[in-house]
Amino acid sequence: MTDSYLQKVLERGRELALLERAAAVPVSHAPVLRVATAALIGILMSFLPLASAGEELIPLIL
Amino acid sequence: MAEERELTKRLATGDVEALEQLIKRWREPAEHYAFSILHDSFAAEDAVQEAFARVWAARSAYDTRFAFSTYLYTVVRRVCIDRIRREKHMPVPLGELPEIPAMSAEDEYLIHNAKLERIHRIARLNETDRKLLLGSALEGRPIRELAKELGLSEVHARVRLHRIRKSLKKGLVYDDD
């Protein structure tokens, strides 16, 4: 058996082991959390002025 | 036999010399076996090399109760099946590919070796998915950058990564393009 055959086996084996490790790394949810926070702020920014406008209308209605 | 058991024990601990001895002993008969499935000597040689690589990658889970030949032949058989399946997706004239051999009871038992099974599934990932997985999980590179390099949209790259992880977890291999 040539030494290069063994080296090739080791190299292919190492790549598979590395991929297995990569697949086990937990996914970072940071971008998802950032998007969710931004969406929440957006919703609040849109509804707060409406809510305060509504409050001003209450005395007029009553 | 006792000597081989010793070699397999050493293999399980990551002894390269033991792997070398096992390759010396089993490479040729394994290539004959692979040839009997693939009918192509070049493909058979490559399949056996891939099988040794999978055995090495999953060495910590090797069950020393099994004879090494049984274990290796099961892995060779699986590599051959993967190859036939992959080639069946390619445009080749009908009738040129051998039939996929049926799974034996021994295969069924060995398939429950979770680590080896995970390695089999990972080995079936294509080059793009391998780069995506390694780049994002181990090198910590931004998906946007990886996507650009691989000629994918960022959304597509994120979806692919999600599907790879999900399929590996679920036990189904994600076959795409």
Same domain, B26 and B107: yes
- Best probe of the A interface among B28, B75, B133, by most A CBs < 10 A, is B133
Instruction: Say yes or no for a CB contact (<8 Å) between A19 and B125.
Output: yes
pLDDT by residue (tens digit) across A35-58?
Answer: 566 667 777 777 666 666 666 667
Domain enclosing residue B77, as ranges:
2-113
The residue ranges of every structural domain in chain A are 3-61
Euclidean distance between CA atoms B38 and B99, whole angstroms = 9
**What CATH number is associated with residue B26?**
1.10.1740.10
Instruction: Judge whether B177 lies within some domain.
Output: no
Any idea what DSSP says for residue B177?
-
The number of beta carbons lying within 10 Å of the beta carbon of residue B60 is: 11
Contact yes or no for B128/B98 (Cβ under 8 A): no
Same domain, B65 and B20: yes
Higher pLDDT among residues A62 and A19, named by residue: A19
pLDDT by residue (tens digit) across B53-97?
Answer: 999 999 988 887 778 998 999 999 999 999 998 877 655 444 555
pLDDT by residue (tens digit) across B121-154?
Answer: 889 899 999 999 899 888 888 999 999 999 999 9
Is ipTM strictly over 0.90? no
pLDDT by residue (tens digit) across A4-31?
Answer: 999 999 999 999 999 988 888 776 655 5
Same domain, B18 and B65: yes
**What pLDDT, on the 0 to 100 scale, is given for residue A40?**
72
The Cα of A38 is separated from the nearest Cα of chain B by a number of Å equal to: 19
Query: For chain B, how many structural domains are there in total?
Result: 2
Same domain, B102 and B141: no
Q: What is the mean pLDDT of chain B?
A: 84
Instruction: Say yes or no for a CB contact (<8 Å) between A27 and B164.
Output: no
Residue A6: list chain B partners with CB under 8 A: 16, 19-20, 23
- Best probe of the A interface among B134, B141, B163, by most A CBs < 10 A, is B134
Euclidean distance between CA atoms B62 and B8, whole angstroms = 8
Interchain contact B133–A (C-beta under 8 A):
yes
Same domain, B90 and B19: yes
Same domain, B109 and B131: no
